Amino acid sequence: MTAADLPGSVPAAAWVRRHLQYEPRDASLFEQALTHRSAARSNNERLEFLGDAILNLVVAQYLYGHYPEADEGALSRLRAAVVSGASLARIAAALELGPALALGAGELKTGGFRRESILADAFEAVCGALYLESGIDTTRSTLLRVLAPALAELDASAETTPAGQKDAKTRLQEWLQGRGLPLPRYQVVQVEGESHAQTFRVSCDVEAVKASAFGEASSRRRAEQAAAQQLLAQLGL
């Protein structure tokens, strides 16, 4: 890791210009959004609270318009796939958010800038700051551009799932929960190819029933779905 990769090595305003394609009027607002509570009393927790609501609104509105046949439950599952902590952390990592973070000494020492929760929370805080400064219209257009890869992946996945049918991961989870069993564990076991054309191999393990399966696809999420589908087939479901 070079010095340019370390937290705090990229000014907040510069990060916003480069990755959000937005010119901030109040750089201090975005500095606060990218400041973890371990670094200062004036941190991003309040902005995170606001940004969480704004992000959910933008994604919910997108899904409502793009999936007219989906019921409330299906829309909720689709939204969760985009705004979950793990998903937001991947988006934040792709936006190279880590070097723009301000962290306390303890978090720096333990690699907090790689932690999913910190990355996801900071991204939500940025959403809040963007909304406060620019309003909902600019925030919506900016977020939809940033979220475009995750939304496109969601759209492609939905095309393979018949209307009204739950996806494989959801069906497997509900089957296990209905029997009081632990949830499956997904793990990326191999990634091949260049960054623009990767193939992910993911394992799905359910220790309670001594079953495991593998799935391969062009994204981690699709590979997880493929692995869950294989495991459902093993269980005769």
Contact 207, 183 (CB under 8 A): no
d(CA 228, CA 159): 17
Write out the DSSP string of 142-205: HHHHHTHHHHHHHHHHHHTS-TTPPPHHHHHHHHHHHTTPPPPEEEEEEEES-TTS-EEEEEEE
DSSP conformation class of 113: G
52 tagged catalytic: yes
Contact 204, 171 (CB under 8 A): no
124 tagged catalytic: yes
**Amino acid (1-letter code) at residue 160:** T
Contact 70, 150 (CB under 8 A): no
State the Cα angle at 151 between 31 and 124, rounded to 5°. 20
* Residue tagged active-site, from 48, 107, 124, 224: 124
CA quadruple 22, 28, 33, 35: dihedral, nearest 10: 130
* Residue tagged active-site, from 31, 52, 121, 153: 52
- For the annotated catalytic residues, the residue numbers are 52, 124
